[in-house]
Amino acid sequence: MLSDVVANKIAAGEVVDRPASVAKELLENALDAGAGHIEMELAAGGRKLVAVTDDGAGMTRDDAILSIERHATSKIRDVDDIESIATMGFRGEALAAIASVSRFRLTTRSADAVSGTAVRLSGGKLLDVEDAGCPVGTRVEVRNLFFNVPARRKFLRTQQTELSHCRQVFFTYAVACPSAGMRLVVDEREVYNLPGGVGMKERLRALYDSPFVEALRPVEYAEGPLRVSGFAGLPALHRGDRSGQYLFVNGRPAGAPLVSYAVREAYETLVPKGRHPVLFLFIEMPPDWVDVNVHPTKKEVRFRKGNETRDAVIGALRTALKQDGGAVSASREIPFTRPQMADRQVRIEGLPVVQPFQYPRLPLREDEGEKPSGAEAGHPPAEAAAKGDSPWAWCRVLGQVGGLYVVMETEDGLVLMDPHAAHERVLYEKFMEEVKANRVRSQGLLAAESVDLPPADALRVRKNMKLLCEMGFGLSEFGGDTFIVDALPTCLGNVSARSVLVDVADSLEKGGQRGGTERWAEDAVAMAACKAAVKAQDRLRLAEIEQLVVDLAKAEMPYTCPHGRPTLIFLGFGELRRKFGRS
Ligand code: ADP
Ligand code: MG
């Protein structure tokens, strides 16, 4: 038989592996106790202190002493109870595990008790139990985590890293429970003070900036006893990994491969390959449809009705995103009405005859002076363009169809251009050239922008600070997860510092993981170009389109965007002739 102290220490390995897991367990307990206000304090990335204070139900003296015993829980009695669990915790392991690897202090008072109780432990050994004056609720202080487990302590990362994991936990529960007021204090500085009793949207507004929140669409979907609600990000918010996806199953933060697949399917054609949308998704179902007990930390869940769940998630997301797409396309349509014309009558006197296009030609090659073009002279496509040379001698922008695609005529035929993809290619080559030549030009912003990032993003930016500066970002730390951006790479043009920063940091991170030194630049630049490029819904002026065509014609690889999508679709006169059977 192992002694309790040893058994707890072993069990602690499963439940507690870093300060962030302490933060998670303590926040869950506070929420389970029905707290209306929760405060979390961290010192030295949580290694020195993680403390959570709540105004929940509190405990009696007896319960307080029991609570730190292994397998002591007030939340279930029977195995069957797990099937209908409504609380975050139920295994009764957390406090015992945490107390066995830290200096631990619990003070608590229940509503009807005259005085509170303070319990102190060190490395799992009970030091004392005393009466204590304290308000109704509970405060748990966890100091010097792993002070008695050197092997574990060695695996802790820098304070910065541990802190950012703790903050991420706080952030996740803040999203999960907008009804509770939540405050976070880091090294005695207030980082968040979120009012409680609010709805999801208000909570998100308190956590993110408003352009981000504006790009979220409400999700509300029910199929039998399954309910999917929350917010789905418009496809344009896509990111390089799933760190922008918050999933809650019956109120509990959870991951589930099945849901990830469903999300990917729902967004399949909407976000580029390898990118992930942003989501805050709450799935609710009868408790016996989900198994939350597959892992000690309950991070992953399994669904008993996999197909139903997947279909509901896909249905919910598609419905949420469709509303938006519909509204956009409906607003601009011009009704297509036929001119009043008698059925058989083909010509009506007095109506104008269709004119040949009047727009001027745009010379694309230097040699294109007044010389007549190949097509007009009646012969097939011009001598293939030399590398870097324009594929066509001239073009004429005829207009835009579908509010997006640019229609052009060249000497060889009809060309359709996707302005976003084209612009992406142009920016990509421009920026890449600068990076390769080590002469990135940077342009100061009129007003420095302060960018507040979610903890995970902040960590990446911090890690890649030097590279980002080399890439032309004027970047400095402002403390916490705030950065000051006072310059951007010139070629990015007018973009939001925030969105570029997040995305570039993202791909830098991946480059680092692959160990590539060259690839990071390509990825980051492709991403930055994508962010900076004109968007599908932007209305472009003729001069802007023409500039784009000229720039694209000069590009080394004009036919695809850096992600491999085509920029141009070409329909030659030869093909047109064949299609019309003119041979
Ligand atoms: P679990 O949450 O799985 O039940 P824990 O070890 O986290 O196990 O907690 C043990 C018990 O201590 C809980 O079941 C609960 O009764 C009590 N407890 C823990 N934290 C709090 C708190 N903040 N407020 C009130 N009771 C608490
Ligand atoms: Mg618990």
CA-to-CA distance for 464 and 378, rounded, in angstroms?
57
Q: Is 457 left (phi over 0), alpha (psi -120 to 50) or beta?
A: alpha
Averaged pLDDT for residues 566-581: 87
Query: In the chain, pLDDT over 90 holds for what percent of residues?
Result: 37
pLDDT of 87 > 90? The answer is: no
CA-CA distance, 7 to 556, in Å (whole number)?
A: 65
Q: Within 10 Å of residue 160's Cβ, how many Cβ atoms?
A: 13
Q: List, for residues 318-345, the tens digit of each pLDDT value.
A: 888 876 543 333 222 333 333 333 344 4
| pLDDT value for 452 | 86
Cα distances (angstroms) measured from residue 59 to each of 6, 50, 134:
26, 20, 12
Q: Which atom of ligand 1 is nearest to the CA of 95?
A: 6
User: 229 Cβ partners below 8 Å, 6+ apart?
Assistant: 218, 219, 220, 221, 281, 282, 284, 316
Among the atoms of ligand 1, which is closest to the Cα of residue 96?
6
Write the pLDDT tens digit of every residue in 3-12.
888 888 887 7
Task: Tell me, using a 6 A CB cutoff, whether residue 75 lines ligand 1.
Answer: yes
Instruction: Give me the pLDDT at residue 550, please.
Output: 86
Q: Is 163 in the pocket of ligand 1 (CB under 6 A)?
A: no
Predicted local confidence at residue 325, as pLDDT:
44
Higher pLDDT, 189 or 237: 189
Which pair of tokens denotes residue 391?
């594929």
* Ligand 2 centroid from CA 306, angstroms: 27
pLDDT over threshold 70, residue 42 = yes
Helix (H) or strand (E) holding 501, with range, is helix 497-514
What digits encode the pLDDT tens for the residues 531-567?
Answer: 778 777 777 888 888 888 888 888 877 788 887 788 8
The average pLDDT across 244-268 equals 89
Written as one letter, the residue type at 574 is: G
CA of 151 to the centre of ligand 2 (A): 25
Please provide the size of the chain in residues: 583
Q: Check if 381 has its Cβ closer than 6 Å to any atom of ligand 1.
A: no
**pLDDT, tens digit, for every residue of 507-523?**
666 655 544 445 556 66
- pLDDT number for residue 347: 44
**DSSP one-letter code for 168:** H
Tens digits of residue pLDDT in 105-114:
999 999 999 9
Q: Is 69 in the pocket of ligand 1 (CB under 6 A)?
A: no
* Chain-centre distance for alpha carbon 57: 36
Q: Is the CB of 107 under 6 A from ligand 1?
A: no
pLDDT at position 341 is: 38
Nearest CA to ligand 1 atom 25: 58
Q: What is the pLDDT of residues 268-292, one digit of tens each?
A: 777 777 788 999 999 999 988 988 8
Q: Is the pLDDT of residue 295 over 80?
A: no
pLDDT at 324: 52
Q: Kind of pairing, strands 245-249 and 226-233?
A: unpaired
Provide the pLDDT for residue 582.
86
Q: Structure pTM? A: 0.63
Q: What is the mean pLDDT of the chain?
A: 82
pLDDT at 144: 97
pLDDT confidence tier of residue 377, bands split at 50, 70 and 90: very low
Per-residue pLDDT, 380: 33
Q: Is ligand 1 within 6 A of the CB of residue 57?
A: yes
Q: Express the helix, strand and coil content of the chain in percent, nearest 5 each.
A: 35, 25, 40
Ligand 1 contact, 56 CB (< 6 A): yes
Ligand nearest to the CA of 65: 1
Q: Is the pLDDT of residue 60 over 70?
A: yes
Smallest CA separation from ligand 1 atom 13, residue? 73
What spacing in Å lies between the alpha carbon of 289 and ligand 2's midpoint? 22
- Using the 8-state DSSP alphabet, how is residue 229 labeled? E
Collapse the DSSP code of 54 into the 3-class scheme (helix H, G, I; strand E, B; otherwise coil) and give the result: strand
Ligand lying closest to the C-alpha of residue 12:
1
197 phi and psi, to 5 degrees?
65, 25
Distance 134 CA to ligand 1 centre (A): 18
Query: Residue 406 CA to chain centroid, in angstroms?
Result: 31
Please tell me whether residue 411 adopts helix, strand or coil conformation: coil
The backbone torsions φ and ψ at residue 506, rounded to the nearest 5 degrees and listed phi first, read: -55, -50
Quick: pLDDT tens for 432-483. Answer: 787 777 777 788 888 888 888 888 888 888 887 887 787 788 889 888 889 9
